[in-house]
Structure 1
């Protein structure tokens, strides 16, 4: 069997890719097709406007993730922060990937709160 060399991690900003989305969506690791009623229901449940990062905010998140990766001794191969989502490629580590994602999201949230963003920033 081949050796795991790394992971690609992706998450979205709050409110920008809801369950039911016309592009499809992922739930519990399963890709689902669009569901207009589900998307509308989720839009109505939003407690604030969708979060879209501007150029400065994207740079802040990128730096926060870089810093967190160094702090956690996680090898960062690539990172790309967009207005509505983040892609990170990390090397293999003997750790929980869910914990790594949580730590990266927390680092991004912390720096954005210092910058003035309030409330939820990321999807689950």
Structure 2
């Protein structure tokens, strides 16, 4: 198989998409799962903080830090969009394992968010993992960039 030209990374903020969620959810190494209200209640009971919703200045901090991390690591930031409850990034990170890319982005964004928070700073900003999709061609790259930048506010015709 060819090498990917980019990674499409999605990470939810802490507590906003729990195992069992009514929208469905992804179980590590097992794939997409149907809603499970009991499992969602169990996951919510284990939370150590409230779910994290990012406000506008925090979203700007995340987007800026993703770009800065990419420059520092010599990765290509094709697109980044931080929403109130998740972030998408399309990153060309040649010779770097995708889990390292995701981990570095989460770690550096967490540092910046903590630096700009009140003294009783949140410890948990992001979900444990997140999605990593490999992009292999320019058509796929164009699609994920378009989705990242413009698809978040798209609503189908009723």
Same fold (TM over 0.5): yes
Instruction: Give TM class, smaller chain.
Output: over 0.9
Gaps of 5+ in 1: none
Report deviation, 1:26. 0.9
Report deviation, 1:119. 1.0
Report deviation, 1:92. 4.9
Report deviation, 1:8. 0.4
Report deviation, 1:90. 1.1
Which deviates further from its counterpart, 104-113 or 83-92? 83-92
Which deviates further from its counterpart, 18-27 or 90-99? 90-99
| Cα distance in 2 for residues equivalent to 1:4 and 1:68 | 20
Which deviates further from its counterpart, 26-35 or 82-91? 26-35
TM-score normalised per structure 1: 0.95
Q: Does 1:9 align with 2:13?
A: no
The count of residues paired between Structure 1 and Structure 2 equals 124
TM-score normalised per structure 2: 0.75
1:18 maps to what in 2?
Answer: 18
Q: Does 1:52 align with 2:53?
A: yes
| Cα distance in 2 for residues equivalent to 1:123 and 1:62 | 17
1:64 maps to what in 2?
Answer: 65
Which deviates further from its counterpart, 83-92 or 15-24? 83-92
Report deviation, 1:5. 1.9
Secondary structure of the corresponding residue to residue 38 of structure 1: helix
2:154 maps to what in 1?
Answer: none
1:102 maps to what in 2?
Answer: 103
Report deviation, 1:4. 2.3
